[in-house]
Amino acid sequence: MNKGKRVSPGIWSEMWRTLRLAWRLLGDPRVPLLVKILIPGLALFYTLLPIDVAPDLIPLLGQLDDLAALIIAARLLIEMSPPSVVAEHEFDLFESSSRRSQEPPSEDVIEADYRILE
């Protein structure tokens, strides 16, 4: 029997992708300055605020609400950014990750033809 529910690795990779996309959008001059200041500012304010939904004194649970605030802020930043800019950065992130997976594992790869002798 499975007593505890395990979190799919896809959730962690999706969170990482969301954070990377939000970080790229923060550096893009085409995203409105108000969006780049207001949303991260509110997330930072909540994280530093001594009153939380789950107090930080409770191990792990206190930090999870701060992580949730960060993820929500990243999603909100993505939603409030111009769709064409978001699509461009998503494409770039996808291309860079697919290129990395196709590259050889090291630079010591030798390409050659071979034949089997019997």
As a whole number of angstroms, the distance between CA 38 and CA 73 comes to 10
Examine residue 101 and state whether it is found in any structural domain, yes or no. no
User: Percent of the chain scored above 90 by pLDDT?
Assistant: 36
pLDDT of residue 94: 81
Nearest to residue 81, comparing CAs of 26, 44, 1?
26
Examine residue 112 and state whether it is found in any structural domain, yes or no. no
Tell me the whole-structure pTM to 2 decimals. Answer: 0.65
Examine residue 114 and state whether it is found in any structural domain, yes or no. no
- Please compute the mean of the pLDDT values over residues 16-27 and round it to a whole number: 92
As a whole number of angstroms, the distance between CA 55 and CA 37 comes to 26
As a whole number of angstroms, the distance between CA 91 and CA 100 comes to 14
Examine residue 70 and state whether it is found in any structural domain, yes or no. yes
Domains identified in the chain, total number: 1
Domain limits for position 71? 29-94
